[in-house]
Every structure is written in structure tokens, then in C-alpha cells.
Amino acid sequence: MMTSVKCGAGRIAATALAALLLVTTLPASAQEDAQNTLRAEREAVEARDAARLAELIDDREALEAALSEAREAHAEAEAQGAELDARQVELQARGDALDARQAEQGDDLAAVLEVLARHSGELRDALAQDWITLGGPALPPRLDDAEVLRLEHLERLGDALMALTAETARIRAFAAPVAGSSGEITRREVVRVGDLAAFSGGELLERGAEEGVLATLARTPDEVAERLRAFQAGDEERVVLDPTGGDVLAALAQRPSLVERFHQGGAVGYVVVGLGAFGLLVALAQYAYLLRVSLAVRRQRRHLDDLSRDNPLGRVLLRFRALSDEPVPEALEARLDEAVLAEMPRLERGQPLVKLLAAVSPLLGLLGTVTGMIVTFQAITVFGTGDPQLMAGGISQALVTTVLGLVTAVPLLFAHTALTGRSRQLAGIVEGQASAALAETLEQRQPVSSSSGSRHRADALA
């Protein structure tokens, strides 16, 4: 109630002061009007305050309730103030005690605390992504917030260092979330070998992007994966380790396979390999045909009386027998040579193509080399020589196509040599047998020719 009265009086005083200042600045007639207005407003405010005071006096229960709430709020505020005063006294005493201990320790122990805090933070940062913290002891505590060096700080730091050191010689198996190559995260059994490596199911692991999640390497070498899988299953006592911290295994993982090297050759590499495969197929088909013919010729040589048309020797001898009545020996020999030469295209079929592909393959490899070097020089022109990875594509094509051309030409040359040798062997057999048949026929005709000549000479003498 008193507050309301004071507020009303304050508003009246402020209004009166403002009105007075306004009145002093106005002319006489205006000042009189202003005074009347001010008097009317003051009377209205006094009447309103008097009515409110009368209302509060009449409602004593509301007045007492308001006073009771005010007393409770005042008591609560006093209790809170006392508590804050006690807290302030306690903090002041603690600060005085810390100041006293710090004064007792001196600058030397403060420097020791600073060094410990710095090394503890550096050690935590260095080991944050280390394998030793995976399923192992906790990292050393941070001492950045410590104000005074205590014995427990040294003990905790020493215990943490000893535990981490001992953990480097342990092999632990535990379950952890692992992200596969497809990105799916599953909980798998993980084996950690000291602070050197961690693997699961024959796949080497690395720290994932998310905290506490591991990820498999893009590629683990096959020989390494087999050894790790056997070790995790308990079938192998030795495990593959990389003392360089993963650099060697990472280099082995980046080593391309035969298929990847094949794809590095680009379009020229595909053409070289395609032509080489086609040439080898032709060579194999022709060599199979020559083997079949060799068996047929060998069988025919054992049975010359029963000639067959399924082999060159049989066809040549049948043709010779059909022409054996030829009276002129030179004509018979020419017909026999014609029959032998007619069989040679079949025996030498595919050899020119294989020889051509064997000669063209290195040239195509050289073409790929030149193309790859052009790509490399273009990359150097655009990006410079600062990043070797930008030139790796052209260099790979330049080297791989040369290798593919040589690898394709070598077996084709061997195939051509084998085909040539086999066909020449068969041709020699056919020519030898044909020559023997010709000689035998001419020998059979010689006595007849000699007796006819003697008879003619006797008739002439008579």
C-alpha cells in the first residue's frame, strides 16, 4: 500500500515539475491554462490513489497475504545471501590455501607442472589415433587445468605411461564396429597386435571417419590376407607385421593386379591383347589340325597299299597313281610336284597371319608408349611437375602397352616356329614318299624302254 502511494506521489511530483517547466516557458494566458490542467490532473491522481488505498484497507485478508508473501520472499533472499556469503568465504579460504601452497612450492615446481602439462597434452594428441588406444588403457590425463602440482598427478601420469608401454607387447581380440568396403557398418571381431596393426577377417583396418568406428583398407594383399585369416582362426602362430607403421603394406596394397595393369594400357592395350589372343587361337587351331594330319600320315605310311583321302600323303599318291600312265617322265614329275604343292596351303594355313601379328604387336606397344608420353607431357604442360600422380596415367600407359606388345609377340613367335616346323616336317614326308613312288615307277619303265630300243636297232641293222 505504501509503495503504491509513493509511486503515485512520485508521478504527481514528476508531472508537476514538467508542468512547471512548461509553464515558465509559455506566455501569461497559456500559463494560466496550463496551471488549470495541472491542477485537474493532480486531483485525478490523488482521487485514484485514495480509492485504491481505501480498497486495500477494506480487503485486509489480501493485504495480509501480500505481506506474508513479502516476508517469505525476504526470508528466502536472506538465506540465499547467507549461503552465498558462506560459499564466498570457502572459496576465499581455498584460494588462500592454494596461494600458500604455490608460494611454498616456488617457481621450480611450477615449471615442472608446466612441463608435465605440455607433455601430457602432446602425448594425448600423438596417441589419439594410435592402435594402442583401441581396446587398451586410457590415455594420460590432461594437466592444463591443474593449478598446483600434486603427488597424484605424477602417479596418474606414471601409471598411464607404464600401462601404455606394457600394451605395446600385447595382442588383444575384441568386438568393434567396422565399416566394410561397401560402407556398411557391422560389429566384427578385431585383433590388435600391439601398436602396429589391427585386422579382422583377413582384412587390414584403419581408423574410420567416425569416432570409435574402424574401416577396412581398400585392398589387402592376398598373401597377407591369408596369413592374417589363419592367425585369427588360431591355425597359424605367425602374423604379418609392418615395422614401418603401415607404409610397406600400404605400398603392397596399391600394387595393381594383372587385370588392373591390363586396364592401365587403355585402348591400345586392349587392341594388342585382342590381336594376340586371336593369333594364339589361330595358331592353336592350326597346330591341332597339323597334329591330326601327322597321325593320319603316320597311319598312311604304314598302309601304303590302302590309300585314303583323309591325309595329304594319301591324296598325293592317289593323284600319282591316276597319272602313272603318263608316257613322258618329265610330265609325270611335274604333275607330281603339282599334287604336292596343292597340299602345301593347307599345311601352312595361318602361319602368315601369326607371323604378321607377332611383328605388329611390338609396333602397337610402341604406339601406346608414344601416346602415353604425349598424355604425360600434356599433363606437365597444364599442371607442371609438382604432383606426380597427375602424370601417372600417361606413364602407366606408356610402359604397360610396351610390356603387352612384347608379351603378346613372344608367344606368337613361338607358335609360328612350332607351326613352321610341323608343316615342314609333313611336307618333307609327303615329298619324300612322292619322290620314292616316282622313282619306283621310272625304274619299272626302264627295262621296257631298253628292250624296245634294242629291237628297233636290230630291225635297222637287218
Q: Are residues 249 and 329 in the same domain?
A: no
Q: Using CB atoms within 10 A of its CB, is residue 102 exposed (0-12), middle (13-18) or buried (19+)?
A: middle
Q: Are residues 331 and 443 in the same domain?
A: yes
Lookup: cell for 186 = 557391422
Residue 359 in any domain: the answer is yes
Residue 309 in any domain: the answer is yes
Q: Are residues 437 and 312 in the same domain?
A: yes
Position 59, amino acid: D
Distance CA 202, CA 209 (A): 21
Q: Are residues 331 and 184 in the same domain?
A: no
Structure confidence at residue 410 (pLDDT): 93
Residue 154 in any domain: the answer is no
Structure confidence at residue 277 (pLDDT): 92
Q: Are residues 337 and 193 in the same domain?
A: no
Residue 185 in any domain: the answer is yes
Structure confidence at residue 354 (pLDDT): 92
How many CA atoms does the CB half-sphere of 446 hold within 13 Å?
Answer: 7
Residue 274 in any domain: the answer is yes
Would the pTM of this model clear 0.75, i.e. be above it? no
Q: Are residues 233 and 179 in the same domain?
A: yes
Q: Are residues 305 and 440 in the same domain?
A: yes
User: How far is the CA of 21 from the CAs of 8, 17, 40, 45, 318, in angstroms?
Assistant: 20, 6, 17, 20, 150
Contacts 24+ apart (CB under 8 A), 379-386: none
Angle at 143 between CA 138 and CA 144, to 5 degrees: 125
End-of-domain residue from the set 226, 255, 284 = 255
Lookup: cell for 234 = 588360431
Q: Are residues 191 and 273 in the same domain?
A: no
Start-to-end C-alpha separation, the chain = 189
Residue 245 in any domain: the answer is yes
Q: Are residues 326 and 444 in the same domain?
A: yes
Question: Residue 305: which domain range?
Answer: 263-461
End-of-domain residue from the set 203, 233, 255 = 255
End-of-domain residue from the set 28, 58, 88 = 58
**Tens place of pLDDT for every residue, the chain, 462 residues?**
444 434 444 444 444 444 444 444 445 555 567 667 877 888 887 888 777 667 666 666 766 776 787 788 888 888 888 888 888 888 888 777 766 665 655 566 677 777 777 877 777 777 777 777 777 777 777 777 776 667 777 777 778 888 888 887 788 888 888 887 777 888 888 888 877 778 888 887 877 666 667 888 777 777 778 888 888 888 887 877 777 766 776 666 666 667 777 777 788 888 998 999 999 999 999 999 988 888 888 888 887 777 777 788 778 778 777 776 666 677 777 777 777 788 788 888 889 999 999 999 999 988 888 887 887 777 777 777 666 666 666 677 678 888 889 999 999 999 999 999 988 888 888 888 877 877 777 777 665 444 444 444 334 333
Structure confidence at residue 451 (pLDDT): 45
Residue 144 in any domain: the answer is no
User: Any residues with CB less than 8 A from the CB of 192 and at least 6 apart, and which?
Assistant: 131, 134, 135, 136, 171, 172, 173, 174, 198
Structure confidence at residue 111 (pLDDT): 76
Residues 167-206 as b/e (b if ≥16 CB within 10 A, e otherwise) read beeeeeeeebebbeeeeeeeebebbbbbbbbbbbbbbbbb
Q: Domain tally for the chain?
A: 3
